Amino acid sequence: MRIRHLSSQLANQIAAGEVVERPASIVKELLENSLDAGAGRIEVEVEQGGSALIRVRDDGCGIHRDDLVLALDRHATSKLETVDDLAAIRTLGFRGEALPSIASVARLTLSSRQADDAHAWRIDADAAGSGEPVPAAHPPGTVVEVRDLFFNIPARRKFLRAERTEFAYLEETFRRIALSRFDVAFRLSHNRRVIYDLPALADSAAGIERIAALCGETIAEYGLALERDAGGLSLRGWIGTPASARSQADTQYFFVNGRVVRDKVVSHALRLAYQDVLHHGRHPAYVLYLDIPPAEVDVNVHPGKHEVRFRESRLVHDFLARTVKAALAHSAPEAPAVRPGFAPSPGAPDRPGGGGAPSRDSSYPAWQPRMQQSMPLRAAEAAAALYARTPLVDPVDGRQAFAGEAPAPQSADDELPLGRAVAQLHGVYILAENRHGLIIVDMHAAHERIVYERLKLGREGEGIRVQPLLVPVTLRLSVAEAELVEDSRELLAALGLEVERLGVDGAVVRAVPALLCEADAERLVRDVIADIRTWGDSDRVRERIDETLATMACHGAVRANRRLTLAEMDGLLRDMERTERSGQCNHGRPTWTQLDMKALDTLFMRGK
């Protein structure tokens, strides 16, 4: 066969293979065009999951009559002129492929009116081409109608799934785009039923309302708001607390310069940030917005543009991981939000639902996000919404020491966020009273977190303090395990364990971390060896060292059924207040909750 040019119809249909996979991809392209046109309100009407009809109407700038035919031409765009523009692209589209691709696989009608036109113009198109614009009635803006998707390509029509499935994809696309621009009103209806009607929000801080409407309550109710700018990068948005993590990764939205992306660098950074507060197999929820100079990111990686490439991916990765990690670290319990006579310091963000008391700690590192819980925790309304202090634990001897300007705990009981212990319940829970009501603490989970954080601090600082055992403990091991002990002596020492191989199949434990001196040394060391075996080579172990510390912390934590005195319980509460991440145990479960007086009154129908 000789070489010849593809007909433009066939070329468009081939290009459509990349751009138009299903109804959802059409909605994506049309919504992006409307946003690029500066629309303030966009309405999407869909029938039969989008395969029968998709209609997108906007009040944007419209298209000049003489450009209507051009808009349907391949590689015709108003958004780009030179290759330099591409490096600084601010619009969502720029490839000039969407409308011609859609027209080649469906019946398309485009009506548009610019602000100073007397009336609108309409043009009809399909794979065979388009007609001439004819006058039409339409307010300023644009409406695109796409009917009978793949009517001319039966092979592709066959790949469309059930109406419900296609609509689910489409809805997800709509959701992402509606999350990308709080200042634009969006509406979606399916088979004449309104699914979402989202007003424009004046202030992006109010975005939490839209998130609640689109994603349910997970983030909206239990989320932490974060905000941080550094080195030209800016990250803001909301992250779910570890306790509200989900069994599926279905509430994870990440936007780069307003464009939703799925990116390996991003998801790795987020996983890293959550790694030690998340229950195994759970997925955090987040809606995050990264702004980055356009020249630092390449959006032209994929025709559907859902991938990006960062020029300095390491930098972006670390910025994300550190910011989110810090936000999570500061979700420790804090003083009550509303404290009379306490004026917020200048520069404190003003967010809904927070109560807005800023950090009292002047030594708060500058790079940490200004964050607060966007809305009170349902069960912990009273203690919600605050910034936490930097940890005040002296890593050397495990006792608390107060650094510099950091505030000493107030002696007045009503200044203690977790209150005073009043009782222990079945050897499992501590009940405490603060001025808002009742606090319930899972004592093992809470203590485990405290021990873990101290072990980490010790390791990162001057080393974990060890305590020699009065009577060394000998273990029988397998030969492989004994060899592992021999090969891992350095690593074991870094973990605060002095263990030596003994003979062919034994080992002797001579010292353990002081924090764990009451633990069963044999079981402790066996667990650590098991961890090291699981992680494999020592590089991996170093990566996983925190997980091993978490394993160890479990041995040091108070066991259920141990009776504590009130003083011991109070000590634990104070430790929790001072410890980062103490809101979750090492497995991501919550360690405490609050039932305030209002909640208690509701339980007893008081005042009704």
Site for ligand ADP, rule CB under 6 A: 29, 33-34, 37, 58, 60-63, 71, 77-79, 93-99, 142
Stretch that binds Mg ion, among 88-96, 196-204, 205-213, 473-481 (CB under 5 A): 88-96
Please say which residue, 59 or 453, places its beta carbon nearer to ligand ADP.
59
Decide whether 93 or 419 has the Cβ nearer to Mg ion. 93
Residue 41 vs 95, nearer CB to ligand ADP: 95
Name the binder of 95 from Mg ion, ligand ADP, none, CB < 5-8 A by kind: ligand ADP
Residue 331 binds Mg ion (CB under 5 A): no
> In 3D, which of 160, 200, 203 has the Cα closest to residue 58?
200
CA atoms within 13 A on the CB side of 564: 27
Cβ closer to ligand ADP: 33 or 130?
33
Q: How far is the CB of 358 from ligand ADP (least distance, A)?
A: 43
- State the nearest-atom distance from the C-beta of 140 to ligand ADP, in Å: 10
Tokens of 463: 């080393």
d(CA 424, CA 428): 7
Residue among 294 and 352 whose Cβ is closer to ligand ADP? 294
CA–CA distance, 101 with 15 (Å, rounded to integer) = 6
Partner in contact with 78, chosen from ligand ADP, Mg ion, none, beta carbon below 5 to 8 Å by kind:
ligand ADP
Cβ-based nearer residue to ligand ADP, 303 or 349: 303
The answer to whether residue 96 forms part of the interface with Mg ion (CB under 5 A) is: no
Q: From the list Mg ion, ligand ADP, none, which binds 42 (C-beta under 5 to 8 Å, kind-based)?
A: none
Q: Which stretch binds Mg ion (CB under 5 A): 31-39, 265-273, 345-353, 404-412?
A: 31-39
3-class DSSP assignment, residue 325:
helix
* Burial class (CB within 10 angstroms; exposed 0-12, middle 13-18, buried 19+) of 426: exposed
The site partner of 573 among ligand ADP, Mg ion, none (C-beta below 5 to 8 Å per kind) is: none
Q: With contacts defined by CB under 5 A, how many residues of the chain interact with Mg ion? A: 3
DSSP 414: G
CB closer to ligand ADP out of 104 and 373: 104
Strands (E), 199-285: 223-230, 233-240, 252-256, 259-260
Written as one letter, the residue type at 529 is I
Look at residue 77 and give the partner it binds from ligand ADP, Mg ion, none, a contact being a CB closer than 5 to 8 Å depending on partner kind: ligand ADP
Nearest to 549 by CA among 450, 471, 446: 450
Q: Which does 418 bind (CB under 5 to 8 A by kind): Mg ion, ligand ADP, none?
A: none
First to last CA, the chain: 86
- The pairing of strands 223-230 and 193-198 is unpaired
In angstroms, the CA 61 to CA 64 distance is: 9
* Binding flag, residue 98, Mg ion (CB under 5 A): yes
CB of 195 to ligand ADP, least distance (A): 21
Q: For Mg ion, which is the closer residue by CB, 104 or 331?
A: 104
Rounded (5°) CA angle 590-594-598:
150
61 vs 428, beta carbon nearer ligand ADP = 61
Q: By beta-carbon distance, which residue lies closest to Mg ion?
A: 93
Nearer to ligand ADP, 71 or 502 (CB): 71
User: What residue type is assigned to position 65 of the chain?
Assistant: R
- x/- map, 40-79, Mg ion, by CB under 5 A: ----------------------------------------
d(C-alpha 534, C-alpha 121), whole Å: 68
352 burial (CB, 10 Å; 0-12 / 13-18 / 19+) is middle
Residue from 93, 223, 358, 398 touching Mg ion (CB under 5 A): that is 93
Spatial strand order in the sheet of 437-442: 420-425, 429-434, 437-442, 592-596
Shortest Cβ 90–ligand ADP spacing (Å): 13
Of 19 and 371, the one with the shorter C-beta distance to Mg ion is 19
In the complex, least distance from residue 34 CB atom to ligand ADP, rounded to whole angstroms: 5
Residue 575: CB minimum distance to ligand ADP, A = 57
Report phi then psi at 56, rounded to 5.
Answer: -120, 120
Residue pair 348/250 in contact by the 8 Å Cβ criterion: no
Residue ranges of E strands in 103-243:
107-113, 120-126, 129-130, 134-136, 141-147, 185-190, 193-198, 223-230, 233-240
DSSP label at 373? Answer: E
207 binds Mg ion (CB under 5 A): no
Q: Is 90 helix (H, G, I), strand (E, B) or coil?
A: coil
Among the listed residues 607, 292, 576, 271, the one whose alpha carbon sits nearest the alpha carbon of residue 453: 576
Judged by beta carbon, residue 19 or residue 595, the one nearer Mg ion is 19
Of residues 78 and 204, the one with the C-beta less far from ligand ADP: 78
Report the nearest approach of Mg ion to the CB of residue 95 (Å).
7
Does 104 contact Mg ion by CB under 5 A? Answer: no
Find which of Mg ion, ligand ADP, none residue 69 binds, CB within 5 to 8 Å per kind: none
Per partner kind, with CB cut-offs from 5 to 8 A, the member of ligand ADP, Mg ion, none near residue 8 is none
Minimal distance, residue 364 CB to ligand ADP, in Å: 44
Tell me the one-letter amino acid at 141: G
Nearest to residue 416, comparing CAs of 399, 435, 390, 392?
Answer: 435
Binding-site partner at residue 58 among Mg ion, ligand ADP, none, CB < 5 to 8 Å by type: ligand ADP
Q: What token pair was written down for 529?
A: 């060896």
Q: 201, 209 in Cβ contact below 8 A?
A: yes
In the list Mg ion, ligand ADP, none, the entry touching 381 (Cβ below 5 to 8 angstroms by class) is: none
**If binding is defined by CB under 5 A, does position 33 make contact with Mg ion?**
yes
Query: Can you point out the beta strands (E) in 460-513?
Result: 466-476, 498-502, 506-513
Residue at shortest CB range from ligand ADP = 93
Which residues contact Mg ion (rule: CB under 5 A)?
33, 93, 98
